[in-house]
A and B are shown apart, each in its own frame.
Chain A
Amino acid sequence: MKRVEGLSKLTGRELYVDDLAVDDVLWGGTVRSPAARGRIREVRFGSGVDWSEFVVVDHRDIPGSNAVFLIEDDQPVLASDRVRHLHEPVALLAHPSRHAVRRALREVEVVIDQEPPHLDYRLEAAPDRIQYGNDNILKHLRIEKGHVERALAESPVVVEGVYETGAQEHVYLEPQGMLAWEEDGVITVTGSMQCPYYVVDAFRFALEREKDRIRIIQAATGGGFGGKEEYPSGMALHAALLALKASRPVKLIYDRSEDMAVTTKRHPSRVTHRTGVDRDGRLLVQDIEVLLDGGAYVTLSPVVLSRAIIHAGGPYQCDNVRIDGRAMLTNSPPFGAFRGFGAPQTQFAVERHMDRIAGRLGIDPVELRRTNLIDAGGSTATGQVIDDGVDRVAVMERALELADYSGRRARHAEFNSGSHTRKRGIGLATFFHGAGFTGAGEVYLDSVVHVAGLPDGKVEVRTSNVEMGQGTLTIFTELAAARLGCPPEEVVIAPVDTARVPDSGPTVASRTAMIVGHLVEEACDDLRTRLGLAAGADGDSLKEAITGWHEANPADEPLGQARHVQPPHIDWDEETYRGDAYGAFGWATYVADVEVDLRTFATEVRDFVAVQEVGKVLNETLARGQIQGGVVQALGWALLEECKWRDGAMENAQLTNYMIPTTADVPPIRVEFMEVPYPHGAAGAKGIGELPFDGVAPAVANAVAEAVGCDPDSIPLTPERLMELIER
């Protein structure tokens, strides 16, 4: 089936928040901190502006708690007495003219008594820079398996490595935007977002309102990638505070440069490996330290750290593992959710490290992986026993075959001996990604899905999971139609409006198709049962039953419901970080073929093969699109995309200076799927949205290492960085 809303997008008819024409609307703007840390002495409003024309909001206008509700409540909606990062929101303006807002923002001066900021997460903070607990550690987590010290002492070979990854900006093509208004005592916001119920929670907390006076409606969302997970909560509050004070609708739309400078980014990381191996390359012990830059507030860093450490050992069998993770406070804008959620950072490290181990032992990188990939009945770092019927070695073999790995290696050797300025190499990464919330996370979410029969006989699927490009509308339509035996045209997906849809959890963590999709199936079953239909009933009898119901019960609708039940095989201990971290993992091997130009030190990716086992492919075009898009976004992280920091803020906050890949930067991405259905996922599916991000950077860096005979330990592997590495 083709994308449900595809034609609407291709013709430009899809309405995003800035496309909504609203009478009497004001444009909002945000006054931000000019310093990375300090006390706010004063906010001065310049004399060149007639401020009576403006609506001005600051922290005193917040009726409830001045905090963006999330894991902790340390991040203010609007800074009141102190700021912890550059560009932190301090006040808000609104005016009928957007141009007037832009001019006025320049006339507001936030006067800060500056305090010394802590800007490098890798350094221990001096006492006068401690701002969280007594050590600036936002979260400390640890995984332990076996006997690490003893195994290290007994290992014949110990290989060490330190690996770093940089921040990455999401660059969803639609910048963040919100439109707020109050209607019959209900504060209503529509905008670009992944998690409408996160916004509801944030409103209850900061606006001190009951749920029935809060309505959040997702507008068409032009990309998210995690960037519209937690960030929209605060921004929606900003728009709402202005609208409440103005008693008029307010639109708050970020310009690209504002969006890039102030919103979240992927957490920078430093991962240290100490690995004991035997002479044949068998992993005896992994001792891993993970350090993340959390930025100025806690936000989601604890859970990003959690996923980072769970994936840090890679998809390998090792009996002795210690993974120690810390997320550190710095005075940067908070880092946040981004496709992969910590796993790409740690799997870059472990997959680069595997190649380093192979080099040290003189073993082929493929053989090293073949030796160590988890076999059926083996276990991950948390002790999760893997017995899912997937042959991880077969996934790898298929990728190598598709890439003609050995043939290319041989040809590259010949090519390289004949060229002074161009060097080719091929590299691989084997990796995994756990789908859904970690451990008992899905239990806490307690997701609910409704499927209703409408008066015209169609069925309406009601969830809080959004379409942001990844294909939710199409997948839910297909799942419901297949389950109910009706044509897809008979299925309607309800707009994500918290006044209408139940809370089926956030649209994150590769959970939408696998977990919520499964709930859609179960709600369809429930609807059929309520209608008194047999399991094999066809679409015509369904339609008849629904219209019949409405005739008999005009005041009511037939409603199927489903609530998440944790699959029985998941047993997780949050205290010890032992057990089944995820219901299912996707498994993959990616192979990159590169050419390095030694005149310019630029790396061209000549070919890219992505083979993955994802349970069941629900829609081939959408699934392929997820992989190809994820790979290319990760190629950007690996080679091009570098946030340049200055005093704690991004200096290159323009698309002219922050380079994401164009068509000309990437080859066709060759995708193949392998399928071993997951019994608890929708139609056997496992999550696929994030998996493709994890293996790209290490495959590319391993290929570059082979091409030029160096040992890259940090990304992005820009030409400047590669030049230094080669000269080193």
Chain B
Amino acid sequence: MTVLLPRTVAEACDLLCEHAGAIPVAGGTDLWVEWPLRVDEHDRAYLDLSGLDELRAHRWTDDELLLGALTTYWDVIVDPRAKAELPLLVDAAREVGAVQIQARGTWAGNIVNASPAADGVPVLMAYDAVVVLQSRDSIDEVPLSDFYLGYKVMRRRPDQLVTAIRVPLRGYDYQLFEKVGSRAAQTITKVGIAVTRRAGEWRVVANSVAPTVCRCRTVEAFLTAGQRARGPDDLIGPIREDVSPIDDIRSSARYREQVLARLLYYGLKDECPSFN
């Protein structure tokens, strides 16, 4: 096992170039699960980010929140400004594992782990977050909603490091986050949603119902058009255009679809005059 210990971001990018396929490690809360048993993964090279203090802090400007690659869930949970301006981030962060995970897990790590059940990603996507990717030669930005190409496939080259996430600050007139897991705390999402509305423009993001966390553009159009829904069942059609839930050891496709419809219908009922 090889561990690379860069001291600067520039050095980290150099190392990523030199060691093709080295895996960046931040909080380790995904990579190190059942680590002793994952013997194949012991033979690889890892790039430890934990010494890169320049990536640790999150910063507020007038028009955005910049999450560093090492910003943890807990950093956001205890920031009162986050609760005031981007409350869904706090709501989601509090649903990630428990404090032991929140203290270590990073927003950036959650993005690049690329789990369809990622808890941090839906709210970031609903806030139109942008992923900042740095390599030796360039800095690129990719909107999070365009970041995923398929299951665990994303717009990140092996030589690129996610160094930050930019979350624009906008006034939302409606926002909603719901996570449904198998129990009340410390649970992997079976189905979840993050919804925002700003000036009549909707973002509806779902997780655990498709190969990636995804925008539900048909549902968004349904809402924008003010189409009528007399109950959750009327949302099933648009949902099926957007997502493709499966049966697995945590839940069933049917449950996920039904609950997604119910979360949306009952969650938005008071906001949408066409829902009755």
A residues with a Cβ closer than 8 A to B are: 98-99, 102-103, 106, 255, 257, 420-421, 598-602, 604, 640, 644, 651-652, 654, 656-657, 659, 661-665, 718-720, 723
Decide: A659 and B182 in contact? CB cutoff 8 A.
yes
Decide: B182 and A640 in contact? CB cutoff 8 A.
yes
Q: Which residues of B sit under 8 angstroms from A98, Cβ to Cβ? A: 36
Given A99-B36, A102-B37, A599 and B183 touching (CB < 8 A)? no
Q: Which residue of B lies closest to A98 (CB)?
A: B36
Decide: A640 and B39 in contact? CB cutoff 8 A.
no
Q: What would 7 more interface pairs be, CB under 8 Å, given A719-B180, A720-B255? A: A102-B39, A106-B39, A255-B34, A599-B262, A657-B188, A719-B255, A723-B254
| Distance from A258 Cβ to chain B, minimum over Cβ atoms (Å) | 9
Q: Which residues of B sit under 8 angstroms from A657, Cβ to Cβ? A: 188, 249-250
Decide: B37 and A255 in contact? CB cutoff 8 A.
yes
| Distance from B236 Cβ to chain A, minimum over Cβ atoms (Å) | 14
- A659–B249 CA distance with the chains assembled, in angstroms: 12
Q: Which residues of A sit under 8 angstroms from B33, Cβ to Cβ? A: 656
Given A421-B266, A659-B183, A654 and B34 touching (CB < 8 A)? yes
B184 within 8 A of A: yes
Contact of A662 among B183, B251, B259 (CB under 8 A): B183
B186 within 8 A of A: yes
- A106–B43 CA distance with the chains assembled, in angstroms: 15
- A663–B187 CA distance with the chains assembled, in angstroms: 13
> At the interface, is chain A mostly helix, strand, loop or mixed?
loop
Point out which of B180, B183, B186 has the most chain A C-beta atoms below 10 A from its C-beta.
B183
C-beta contact mask, B156-190 vs A, less than 8 Å → 1, else 0?
00000000000000000000000010111111100
Contact of A663 among B180, B182, B185, B251 (CB under 8 A): B185
- A386–B187 CA distance with the chains assembled, in angstroms: 46
B218 within 8 A of A: no
Given A102-B36, A600-B259, A719-B255, A665 and B266 touching (CB < 8 A)? no
Decide: A600 and B39 in contact? CB cutoff 8 A.
no
B263 within 8 A of A: yes
- A154–B186 CA distance with the chains assembled, in angstroms: 54
- A723–B219 CA distance with the chains assembled, in angstroms: 23
Decide: B184 and A604 in contact? CB cutoff 8 A.
yes
Q: Which residue of A lies closest to B38 (CB)?
A: A102
Q: Which residue of A lies closest to B191 (CB)?
A: A600
- A665–B186 CA distance with the chains assembled, in angstroms: 10
Number of interface residues of B (CB under 8 A): 26
| Residues in B254-276 with C-beta less than 8 Å from chain A | 254-255, 258-259, 262-263, 266
Contact of A99 among B39, B187, B250 (CB under 8 A): B39
| Distance from B97 Cβ to chain A, minimum over Cβ atoms (Å) | 10
Decide: A257 and B184 in contact? CB cutoff 8 A.
no
- A600–B232 CA distance with the chains assembled, in angstroms: 12
Given A599-B263, A657-B249, A664 and B185 touching (CB < 8 A)? yes
Q: Which residues of B sit under 8 angstroms from A99, Cβ to Cβ? A: 36, 39, 42
The 9 A-B pairs of least Cβ separation, nearest first, read A664-B185, A664-B184, A599-B262, A665-B184, A659-B182, A720-B255, A662-B185, A652-B249, A659-B183
Q: Which residues of B sit under 8 angstroms from A663, Cβ to Cβ? A: 185
- A257–B37 CA distance with the chains assembled, in angstroms: 9
B224 within 8 A of A: no
Q: List 8 A-B contacts (CB under 8 A).
A: A99-B42, A255-B37, A600-B259, A604-B184, A657-B250, A659-B187, A663-B185, A723-B255
- A640–B180 CA distance with the chains assembled, in angstroms: 14
- A405–B258 CA distance with the chains assembled, in angstroms: 33
Point out which of A599, A602, A654, A663 has the most chain B C-beta atoms below 10 A from its C-beta.
A599
Q: Which residues of B sit under 8 angstroms from A420, Cβ to Cβ? A: 266
Q: Which residue of B lies closest to A661 (CB)?
A: B183
B252 within 8 A of A: yes
- A368–B155 CA distance with the chains assembled, in angstroms: 65
Q: Which residue of A lies closest to B262 (CB)?
A: A599
| Distance from B195 Cβ to chain A, minimum over Cβ atoms (Å) | 14
- A73–B165 CA distance with the chains assembled, in angstroms: 63
Contact of B252 among A106, A421, A720 (CB under 8 A): A720
Decide: A723 and B36 in contact? CB cutoff 8 A.
no
Q: Which residue of B lies closest to A598 (CB)?
A: B262
Contact of B251 among A255, A604, A720 (CB under 8 A): A720
| Distance from B272 Cβ to chain A, minimum over Cβ atoms (Å) | 16
Given A99-B36, A651-B249, A600 and B180 touching (CB < 8 A)? yes
Decide: B39 and A662 in contact? CB cutoff 8 A.
no
- A625–B275 CA distance with the chains assembled, in angstroms: 49
- A103–B39 CA distance with the chains assembled, in angstroms: 7
Decide: A665 and B183 in contact? CB cutoff 8 A.
yes
Contact of A640 among B36, B183, B251, B252 (CB under 8 A): B183
Q: Which residues of B sit under 8 angstroms from A601, Cβ to Cβ? A: 255, 259
Q: Which residue of A lies closest to B231 (CB)?
A: A420
Decide: B36 and A602 in contact? CB cutoff 8 A.
no
